[in-house]
Chains A and B, each alone.
Chain A
C-alpha cells in the first residue's frame, strides 16, 4: 500500500462492505422472502383477471364466450398456472407468519401459534369448499 496508514482525523478508515445486488440468492430464506414479495404481483393479476371476468359476464353471453376463448390461449393459460402457484405460495407463507403478528389471549392464556395458523387454514378450506359447492353443485 502506498502513502502510509489510511487514518482519518479521529479513527482508522473503516471497511464498508457493500450489499450485493444478488443478496437474495445468498440464503434460502432470503429467496423465499423475495418470492413472497414477488407473489404480490400475481395477486394483483388475479384481481384484474377476476374483474375482467365479471365485466365479460355482465356484458352478455357473447362477451363471456370471447373471454373464455381468450383465457384458453396458451400464454394466458401459462400465466394463470403460474399465478395459481404464487397465490398458494402467498397464502401459505402469510398463514405461517400470522402467529408472529397476532397475539391472542383467551382469559390469561395465550393462544398457541399452531391454533392461530390452523384457524387461518381452516377458514381457507371452508371458504374454498363453499365456493366449490356454489359453483359446481349448489
Chain B
C-alpha cells in the first residue's frame, strides 16, 4: 500500500479567488488508520496553515466535518484515506451551500429552517413536577429513536438535488427531526409542525430521490421520514373533509 497520498483540496479565498475555488495539491502520509480529516489536519499543521475547514469531535458525533470527498458527501472523520489509494483524493466543501472560505460552508439556511419545524417537545399543558417524569416504554422509544440519531451534519442536503435546485425546500434533516418529535409519545406539537411541513416547500417538495438516506452516516433514513409524513399529512387532510371536528 502507498505510504503517501495526494489530496486535491478546493481553495476559495474571497480576497484572491474572484472566479471561484481553485484546487491545491498536498501530499500527506497514508497510514491505514488515517481518515481524510487526519490528512487535512496534517496539511494545516505541517504544510499550509492557511487552509480553513470545520471539525470538532473526530468521532462522528458533532457533524462538523462533512465535506465532498471524490464527489460524495462524507464525514471526513469516518472516511479512510487508504480506501482511496493510490489517490488522488479530491476534497471539496459540501455541495448546495454557499462557500465562506476553502472547505467551510455557510450553514445559516439549514439552521434557520431547523428552528421553523420546532424540534423540541411541545406540550399543551405541562405536568406539575410533583407528578414525576414523562415515562416511555421501550416500544415508544423505538418509534422515534432512528430519527433522533441525526447529528445535523447536512450530508443529506448536499446529496439532495431538490434542495440544490430549490433552496426554499426545508430539506431532509429538518423534516426527519420534525418526525422525530411527532413520533415521541411525550410530544403534542404534531399539529403545529404539520402547518409548516405541509406547505409546498415542506414535505411536498420532496420527489423521493432517496440520496439523503444513502449518504446519511447515522442511518436516519430522512427519505423514509418524509414519505411517512406525506402519508400522515394526506390522512389528516382527508379527515378535515370527512370527519366532524371533534372526531379528528
Contacts and interface: CB of A to CB of B under 8 A. Distances in A.
Interface of A: 1, 4-7, 11-17, 19, 23-24, 26-27, 29-30, 33, 37, 97, 100-103, 108
B190 to A, nearest CB: 16
A103 B143 CA distance: 10
Contact of A33 (B14, B71, B95, B210): B210
Contacts of B95: 17
B86 interface: no
A137 B98 CA distance: 63
B161 A14 contact: no
B223 A29 contact: no
A101 B98 contact: no
Contact of A15 (B20, B96, B210): B20
A14 B99 contact: yes
Contact of B98 (A5, A14, A108): A14
Nearest to A1: B18
A100 B98 contact: no
Contact of A12 (B101, B227, B231): B101
B161 A100 contact: no
21 contacts: A4-B15, A6-B14, A6-B15, A7-B15, A12-B100, A12-B101, A14-B99, A15-B14, A15-B20, A15-B21, A15-B98, A16-B98, A17-B96, A23-B164, A26-B71, A27-B71, A27-B211, A33-B209, A100-B223, A100-B227, A108-B139
B227 A15 contact: no
Contacts of A5: 14-15
B12 interface: yes
**Majority DSSP secondary structure for residues of A touching B:** loop
A100 B14 contact: no
Interface string B86-128: 0000000001101111000010000000000000000000000
B168 interface: no
B213 interface: yes
Contacts of A33: 161, 207, 209-210
Contacts of B101: 12
B15 A100 contact: no
A131 B164 CA distance: 44
A95 B246 CA distance: 37
A25 to B, nearest CB: 12
Contacts of B32: none
B231 A37 contact: no
B224 A29 contact: no
